[in-house]
Amino acid sequence: MDGWRTAAACQEVDPDLFFPVGTGAPALAQEEKAKKVCRACPVREPCLREALDQPRPPSGVWGGLTEDERRSLVRRRRRRADHRS
Ligand code: SF4
């Protein structure tokens, strides 16, 4: 187990909270609850980094971002890197 996981704020929370199903209002409300836990998490950065480093993007909320939000972040970073080269 990675060292940072031992400090994860989500250890005390039902893991299902981080995997909302669907796109309706209940799923969005669940997503917001998960993000609230992440905002108070001391290991948000390494958690997000691990999600971004996976060859296949993991589902659910990691590091305070949904799968779609992480995809957008990767695209923005790639565009920024392309502009610099
Ligand atoms: S950032 Fe969120 S998902 Fe990641 S360890 Fe912290 S609480 Fe868990």
Q: Is 10 in the pocket of ligand 1 (CB under 6 A)?
A: yes
Q: Which residue has the higher pLDDT, 19 or 84?
A: 19
Residue 68 reports pLDDT greater than 60? yes
Shortest-distance Cα residue to atom 3 of ligand 1: 62
**Tens of pLDDT, residues 51-65:** 999 999 899 999 999
Q: Which of 58, 36, 49, 39 is nearest to 77 (CA)?
A: 49
Residue 84 reports pLDDT greater than 90? no
**Tens of pLDDT, residues 37-47:** 999 999 999 99
Q: Is 51 in the pocket of ligand 1 (CB under 6 A)?
A: no
Residue 1 reports pLDDT greater than 80? no
